[in-house]
Structure 1
Amino acid sequence: MTDAETLYQQACKLLDENPNSRQALVWLCQAAEQGHAEAAFEVGMIMLEAEQPDYQAVIAWLEIAAAHKHRYAAYNLLRIRESIMGIAFDRHLPQYVRLAESGLLPAQLKLLEYYADRHDAEAVYWAQQVAGQGHPFGQYFLAMHHHFSDGPDLQRAFELYRQAAEQGLHVAHWQRGKMYRHGIGTPADNTLAAHHLRFAAENGFIAAQTLLADILAEQNHSDALKWYQTAADNGDRQARTALARHYLTGRLTGRDPLQAAKHAKIAAQQHYPEAMQLMGDIYRYGLGIKADAQTAEYYYREAAEQGSLSAYQKLLSDAALHHPEQYGRIKTAALYYQQAEQACRQALVYHQGRGNRAVDYVRARKLYLEAAASGHTEAAFGLGLMYFYGQGVKTDYRQAAYWFEQAAEQGHAEAQYRLARLYYYGQGVAVSLHAACTWLQAAIENGHENPQAFLYLLDKWRQEAGLAPVK
C-alpha cells in the first residue's frame, strides 16, 4: 500500500466515524497531492458541499482527479462549468460522449435528455445504454419510442413502462393506467388502470386524477368526488364540470344545485364547452339560481360554437318550439359537428390502437383531417402528433406546429406544451423564447400532466428570455 493509499484509507475510516473531521480532510489533501485520484475527487466534492463553495479550489482538485482518468471528477467538472460558469452544454458534447461511451450512467442520462428534448434519433441509442443499466428513465424513453414510432410495438412499450413503473417512475404509471383504461397493447382492465392511475394521481398528475375519478364514478365509488375535486383545484376544467354534474344529479353525493352552479361557472369561464352547456341547463331550468331563458340560450350557443353536441341538441329543441325558421340551420350544424366527433373517435382507435386493435395511421390521419375541417380540437392535436412523430407521414415540424397551434388556441393543454417546445427549439417555427414561455405558461395553467414539474422549466426559459420569474 502506497503512502497516498494509506492516507486515503485512514481518511475514509475517520470520515465514517466523523463526517466533519478536519483531520480526515488534511489526510485526503495530502493523498491527493501525491496523485491519489479518488482522494482528490473526495476533497473536491467535500469542498463543493460547503455553504459558500470556493469553486476555483473545487475545480483545481477535480482537475487533478480527472487528469488521472477519474470519470466522476471529469463529469462534475463539466457540470460545474455549465451551472456556475455558464458554459453551454453543447460546448462539452464530445466530453460527455467520451464519458458516456465509457459506461458512466450520469453522462448517458445527460445525453439522453439532450437528444430527447430535441426529438433527435440519437436519443434512442442513449436510451438503450441507460436502460441496459436498469435505469427507469431509459426504460421509459424506449417505451415511448416503441409506443409512438412509425412502426409501433405496443406490447414492447407496455412491458418497458412496467419496468419503469416498478422502479417508482410515476409517469410510467400514468402511461400504464391509460393503456389499461383504453385497451392499448393489452386488454382493457379498469381495476389495473385505477391501480396505476392512483400512483400518478397521488404524485400530482392532474389528468390521472381526472381519469381515476372517471373510473371510480363508473363504479359509484365515493372517492371519485375527492379526485374530481383535487383535479379541479389544480385547474382541470373537465374535472370541474364533472363535479358540477354530480352535484346536480346527486349520484355520488347529496344534490346541491348551488355547488353545481358554482363549479360549472368556473369551468365555463375557462371556455370549457360542456361546462357552458351545463350553465345553459342551470339557467334554463333555474337550478340553484333564477331561471333565465335568454342567458341559457347564450350559454348553449357559446357551447355549440365550441363543439358541444349536447348544446346543439338543446338549441334544436328550442328552435323546434320557438324558432322553426332556425331549425334547419342548427340541425345542419349539429350534424356537421356530430360527424366530426364520430370521425375523431374512430381516428383515436386507429391512431392509438384502442380496444387492443392494430394501429392504422393511414386511416387515422384521414379521419382526423375530416374532423379537423370542422375545427375539432382533439383531431387537430392528433394530426400534430402524427406529423411530429412521423406516424404514417414524413416527420414535418412545420405541419406539427400548425396543427398543435390549432388545438392550443382552443385550450388543449398538451398541444400548448408541445407548441412551446417547438418555439423554444425552433422546430417548424422560428425560435421565440417569448412564444415558448407564453404557451408553456398556458399549458401549466390548463393542468398539463404534472404542472409543478414544469414550473422549473418555465422559470429557466423566462430567465433566458429576460423575463421576470414566475410568481
Structure 2
Amino acid sequence: MRGLLCPLAVVIAFATAPVLAQGDLLAAAEAGDPAAQLAIAERFENGDGVVQNYARAAQWYDRAAETGNREAANRLGRLYHAGLGVPRDLPRAIALLERAAESGKAGHLYDLALVIEAAQTDEAALTRAATLYRRAAEAGHLDAAVSLGVLLQNGKGVAQDFAEAAALYQRAADTGHARALNNLGLLFVRGDGVPQNYERAAKLFKAAADKGLPEALTNLGVLYENGFGVPQSDDLAAAYYRQGGQGVADPQQTDHLIYDVRLTPPPTDEAALKDLEKAARAGDPVAEFQVAYLVLEDDLRDPRRDIRAALMMHRAAEAGHAPAMANLSLLYFRGLGVPQDFVLGQMWLVLAGTSGFDGAAGLSAHWSGKMTADQINDAQARAEKKWAEWQNESP
C-alpha cells in the first residue's frame, strides 16, 4: 500500500499492517494454551488488529474448544449456527452450545435457548427454551428476560401470563432495553396484563425508536396514522413508516457519507475549490477524498459526476485512507456511482476497520444484517486477499 505526500496542511495516518498477536501469545496458542487460542480467535472474529475473518476465528475456537474451553465452544457454536466462517450445521451448533451451557453462565444459557427456540417448534423444545431463558434471566441476563417475556405473552412453552411478561419487560425497559420498551408498549396498546394506555405506549415506542429499533418506528407510525395517544398526523406516520422500512431511527446514519474528522472542513470559496480539484487530479488521496465527498454529498444527482467521484474515492481507498474505504463501502451498498454489490461493500468495510476506522463495527452491524452468511464469508476472504496484496506492494 502506498502512502502519498499531501500538499494540504494536514498529516494523515494511512493504514499500516496490523499485528496478529504478541509473539508470546501466538507461541502459547500454538503450544496449546486455550486462553491464548481463545484470545487469537476473538481477534479474528472482531477484526482486532487483524483483517476480520470468521473462518480463521473458527479454527482457533475449535482448537480451544477441544481442550474443554466452554467459552470457545459457545463462540464456535454460534458461528456454526450462523454459517459464518464454517458451513451452517445446526446439530453441531447445538452440541457445542449444550457443552458451553454446562458452565451455567447466563450468556451461554441464553445462546442455547435462542437456537433451540428458533430451530424447533414442538412444545417440548419451547418448554426447554423457556426454562433456559428463565435461568439466564434470574442471573440478570436482560435479553433472556425479554425472550422469556415473549414466550409468556404468546403462551408458548409456558402458560400464558401477560402480567409476568409485563413485569419482565418493565425490568429490562428500565435499563433502556429497546426490545423490552417496544414489547411493553404493545401490551399497553392491547391492554394485556396492564391497563390500556395509548399515551404510555407512544412514549415507550418513541424511546425504543430512538434506539434504532425498526419495529418501534413502524408502531409509532400506526399510532400517528390513527391518532392513538398522539395527535393524528399522516406526515409523521409516513416518516416513521419510511424510517422503519429502512431499519434505522435516523436515516442520516447510512444515507450520508463519512467525513474525516482529522481534516479541516472542505473549502467553499471558488479559488480554494479549484486548488483542491487540481490536487485531486494530481493524485493526492486526501484531495481526492475531499472532492469526492463534496460531489457525492451534493443533493443534485448527476450519474456521470457520481461515477467520477466514486473513482476518486476508490483511488483514495487504495492509497490507504480508511474513511475513504468506509465511504466506498457505502457507495457499493447503495449502488451510488458503482454497481450495487453488498460483497464488495462489506469487503471495503472490513478493510476500513482493519485500517483504523472506528465506525466500521456499527456500519457492519447494520449492513451485514442485510446479507447472507455466504456473502459475509466471501467479503472477508476478499478483504484478507486485498490486504495481503497491499502488504506485498509495501517497500
Give the shorter-chain TM-score range: 0.5 to 0.7
Q: Which amino acid aligns with 1:234?
A: A
Greater relative contact order (CA < 8 Å, ≥ 6 in sequence) = 2
- Which position in structure 1 is the counterpart of 2:82? 182
Letter in 2 for 1:239: A
Match of 2:373 in 1: none
CA drift of 1:227 comes to 1.6
Corresponding position of 2:137: 232
Q: 1:336 aligns with which of 243, 262, 269?
A: 243
Name which one, 1 or 2, has greater alpha-carbon Rg: 1
**One of 161, 167, 173 as aligned partner of 1:262:** 167
Question: What's the offset of the Cα at 1:300?
Answer: 2.0
- 1:223 paired with 2:128, answer yes
Q: Secondary structure at 1:213's aligned position in 2? A: helix
SS where residue 251 of structure 1 aligns?
Answer: coil
Compute the displacement of 1:247 (Å): 0.6
The match for 1:141 is: 39
1:364 Cα deviation after fit:
9.9
Cα–Cα, structure 1 residues 314 and 340, in superposed 2: closer, same or farther, change >3 Å? closer
Amino acid of the residue matched to residue 160 of structure 1? Answer: W
What is the CA distance between 1:246 and its match in structure 2? 0.8
User: One-letter code of the match for 2:117?
Assistant: A
In 2: Cα distance, 1:321 partner to 1:150 partner: 51
* 1:144-159 pair list within 5 angstroms: 144-147=42-45, 148=47, 150-159=50-59
1:392 aligns to what SS in structure 2? Answer: helix
Q: Deviations over 1:88-118 (max 9, x none)?
A: xxxxxxxxxxxxxxxxxxxxxxxxxxxxxxx
What is the deviation of 1:257? 1.1
Aligned mates of 1:297, 1:404 — CA distance in 2: 30
Question: Are 1:162 and 2:70 matched, yes or no?
Answer: no
What residue number does 1:19 align with?
none
Give structure 2 stretches of 5+ with no counterpart.
1-17, 255-323, 335-345, 364-395
Of residues 210, 218, 233, the one that matches 2:110 is 210
The answer to whether residue 151 in structure 2 is matched with residue 246 in structure 1 is: yes
Please state how far the C-alpha of 1:195 moved relative to its aligned partner: 1.7
Q: 258, 261, 279: which one pairs with 2:184?
A: 279
Cα distance, 1:311–1:393 mapped onto 2, change above 3 Å: closer
Following TM superposition, by how much is the alpha carbon of 1:129 offset from its aligned partner in structure 2, in angstroms?
1.7
Counterpart mapping for 1:65-464 below 5 A? 121=19, 123-147=21-45, 148=47, 150-218=50-118, 219-220=120-121, 221=125, 222-322=127-227, 325-341=232-248, 366-367=329-330, 391-393=351-353, 395-396=355-356, 400=358
Identity of counterpart residues, as a percentage? 22
Amino acid across the alignment from 2:36: G
Distance change in 2, residues 1:207/1:316 (3 Å): same
SS at match of 2:216: helix
Query: Structure 2 CA distance, aligned partners of 1:405 and 1:183?
Result: 21
Query: Secondary structure at the residue paired with 1:287?
Result: coil
1:302-344 C-alpha deviation (Å, 9 max, x unpaired): 2222222222222222222226752322432442353245999
Secondary structure of 1:123's counterpart equals coil
Q: TM-score, normalised by structure 2?
A: 0.55
Structure 1: runs of 5 or more not aligned: 1-119, 346-360, 372-382, 407-471
Shift of 1:158: 1.9
Deviations 1:382-408 (A, max 9, x none): x9xx99xx8435644xx64x88999xx
1:231-264 alpha-carbon deviations (Å, 9 max, x no partner): 2223222211111111111011111111111111
2:222–2:237 CA contact under 8 A, matched in 1: no
- Cα separation, 2, equivalents of 1:364 and 1:210: 36
